[in-house]
Structures are given as structure tokens and as C-alpha cells.
A and B are shown apart, each in its own frame.
Chain A
Amino acid sequence: MMNLERYNRQIILPDFGISSQEKLLNSSVLVVGSGGLGCPALQILVSSGIGKIGIVDFDVVEIQNLHRQFLFDEKDIGFPKVIVAEKHLKNRNSETEIEIFNEKITTKNVIHLIENYDVIADCTDNFATRYLLNDACYLMKKPLVYASLFRDEGQVSVFNVEKEDQMTNYRDLFPVPPNQSEVPNCNEAGVLPTHSAVIGTFQANEVIKLLSGSAETLIHQLLIFNTKNYQSKKIKFNENQEKAGPKTIEEFQNFDYEEFCSLNKNDEINSFSELQSFLNHDKSILIDVREEDEQPKIIAMKILELPFGTLEENLERLNGYTSICFVCVSGIRSQKAVKLLKNHFPDKEIKHFKSGIKSILQ
């Protein structure tokens, strides 16, 4: 039986009504990560009258969490976040069923975790988990409400919901992750409590609209919001025809996301003699992923010039090779190329020449 009095102030909204409230009551959301985004999102979602809320997190409460993670008090330091959060949220709304998972999401457990929920919220804080969750939700066709932070800026979007014959996800924006050094997380970059709360609130807003059907959501759109100067921008994006990322659940479960989002020594070719022996058979090729105008060119070796941005358009040209080595100036683009191509060709031997073009020319 629905508590009409409790939710009266949202039910009386012209675009919401009893039907939207009923949809919330009969739906479920899994919130992955109960930190700066997860805490405000959870408090709002549980207050709104969603039927079931799951929380996944393996962290314990630390003192530096308290300034922005409002579910936790001083006395909670050292305790598992999900246990503290559950207690707090049950006090907030005893009508919502809370399910907690005190574990790290992995390729092995994530399918089982998400399959029983209608919508998933990505409140995580690192690229490895974000790509893992994105790919799992893509394969399971689970709507995923995404949010992320950098200093005073936040990004929000809604993935895996079909609209105008398209279904988009994070890989349609960023097919492969940046290097770790390129994009610091909140622990390294810093964040104000107001900012994480604003973006976490936007994220909860998308979940509520999506579950209740009360308004349009950010499907095929990415919202960028700056809390310092209040500038906002919504960008549109389309589905890539060439899908990066695992194509089947089995491929997904064997995919190493930690490796994908970090430096992997096994992908590196470190000396010129090693490179020569790698290229010493018919089905091997060296690919220069620098832009067309970058000099000097290599002419003495068998080499293809495919700037990093054009790789996915030229996959067919690589079909005949079993061993591929990428090279750029300093080993960063070539490393990204390795990650990208491994998605498309899991069976090929793909490496990069880490020390770059100059070491070949010397």
C-alpha cells in the first residue's frame, strides 16, 4: 500500500502524479559506490520512495570522507560504508528495501549484482571500475546513470536506453581510458562537498526521471556542469558503429580492467633488437599512430601510418596481421592504441614500442 501522504509533495507535481510514484515504488536501483556521489544520491533516492535500493562498496569510512559523504559520522570511522549507510537509510525510510554488498565489483560478480535491478548508478571513483560497469551494463542492456567529477566540474549522462534507434554508452564517448597520470581522481584533484552533492543530486534526478517516466533524461547527451561559475553545457553524441569493449559475457569475464586502465609491462617492446625480431615475419607490422604532419617519418621499415584517431576506421586493413606493434613519440598514444586494438582483436599479439620513434631512427 502506497503512503500517499509521505510522497504528497512530489505526487502533486503536474508531471509526476500517483502513476509516477507507483512506478518508483515498483522499481529498483543499484548504486555502485557510496562516496561523494553515492551518499547524496542514496539519500535522495531512498527519500523518493523507490521500492528497492542496492549499495555496492568495499571501503570503510575514513576521516577524509566526512566533509562530503553525509551518510557517515565521526563514530563510523573504520566501519564498512555499506553497513553504516544501510542503517542510516533505513532510519530515513523504512518503506524502502535496502540490500547491501560489502564487496568490490569484478567481472565475475557484476553480472549477478546488476541483473536484479532496473537501473544502475555509477558513483565510482576510478576508470577501471567505470569501464567494467559500463561494459557489463552494455552487455546486459541495463540502463546506467553515469556521473563523474573533476575539481569543480561534473559530467552526467544516461546510457543503454534506446531512443531514436540508438543505444549509447560511455565507450561511445571515450572508447578507451586515458592514462592514469592524465586524469586525477578526487583524492588527488580535490573536491568541495557542495560540488559532489550537486552532481550526485543531478544523478539521482536522472534515476528518478528514468524510473518514474516523469520527464526526459540525458539519453545520448552528456551534461557538463561547473559548480564554481554555474556554467553548464549539454553535448550530444551518437552510437559508434565499431563497438570498443568486450562483445560477449564470456569475453567480458576474461577481460582485465585493471590492466586495461593502467600501464602493462607485458605490452611493451623495450629495445630495438626486440622490435626487429617482433617484426621478423610476414604477418607482423609496425604502425605509426602519430598525426600525419608529425616528423620525422620512418621509411626504412615496413610500417603503416594510421593516426590514433583513425585506427577504428581502418580495422579492416589490419585483418591480415597476427602481430602488431604501435609506435608514437613517447609511448602514450601507442599504449592507448594497444588497449583499443586488444578490444577488437583479442587473438592478435599487440604491443607498443615504448621508447618511441626517436629510438628507431637512432
Chain B
Amino acid sequence: MKLKIFGKLADIFHGNEYDLDSENVTSVLELKVKLFEKFPELKESTFLIIVNGVKANDSKIISIPSEIALLPPYSGG
């Protein structure tokens, strides 16, 4: 499962893309659990999970293939 990573989260993932093993990931909640396991520092980060171009809640079902993005807020101006 390819993830697009935005903003400062790219520092955690060391890049703007990340290939996640999608086993047992059928919902946004399960995706979060997996991400938090791999990257504990994400638990303290603010970000949206975007599934196929739409902001998704935890209950959103993820079918394969899906386009997933992690998007934090920006403040600069």
C-alpha cells in the first residue's frame, strides 16, 4: 500500500512516499494502528488520513487498491 506523505510528516517517514505492508489493513482505524506501531511518534502528530481524495474517518473501509495520503496542517504565510 503506497502512502503519500505531506508536510513535516515526511521527516518521520524520511520521504514523501512510503510503502506499507497492507496485511490486516481494511479500515482507517487499522491503518492508524499499523502506522502507530511502526512510527510511535505519529501518535503525537496532528494529521488527516485521505482515502481516494476524500478526508476519511476511522471507520472508513479501505479497499485495495486505494490512494492514501497523510496530511498535517500548515501555518506559514
**Residues in A whose Cβ lies below 8 Å from that of B73:** 127, 148, 155, 173-174, 177-178, 183
The closest CB in chain B to the CB of A123 belongs to B77
Nearest opposing residue in chain B for A124, CB measure: B77
**CB within 8 Å of B: which A99-155 residues:** 122-127, 130, 147-150, 153-155
Produce 1/0 per residue, A19-51, CB < 8 A to B. Answer: 000000000000001011110000000000000
CA distance A290 to B48 in the complex (A): 17
Instruction: Contact check, A330 vs B44: say whether CB atoms are below 8 A apart.
Output: yes
Q: Is A317 part of the binding interface, using a Cβ–Cβ cutoff of 8 Å?
A: no
- Chain A contact-residue range equals 35 or more
- Judge whether B54 and A150 touch: CB under 8 Å: no
Chain A residue numbers with a CB within 8 Å of B6 are 153, 224
Cβ contact within 8 Å between B75 and A236: no
A35 to B71, CA, bound (A): 24
20 contacts between A and B (CB under 8 A): A36-B77, A37-B77, A38-B77, A123-B77, A149-B76, A177-B46, A178-B45, A178-B72, A182-B45, A182-B46, A183-B72, A184-B8, A189-B8, A236-B54, A237-B48, A237-B54, A290-B43, A291-B33, A291-B36, A332-B44
Counting from the closest, the 10 A-B pairs by CB-CB distance are A149-B76, A178-B46, A150-B74, A186-B76, A125-B77, A237-B55, A148-B74, A332-B44, A37-B77, A174-B73
Could you tell me which A residues sit within 8 Å of B by CB distance? 33, 35-38, 122-127, 130, 147-150, 153-155, 173-174, 176-179, 182-186, 189, 191, 196, 222, 224, 233-238, 290-291, 293-294, 309-310, 328-330, 332-333, 336
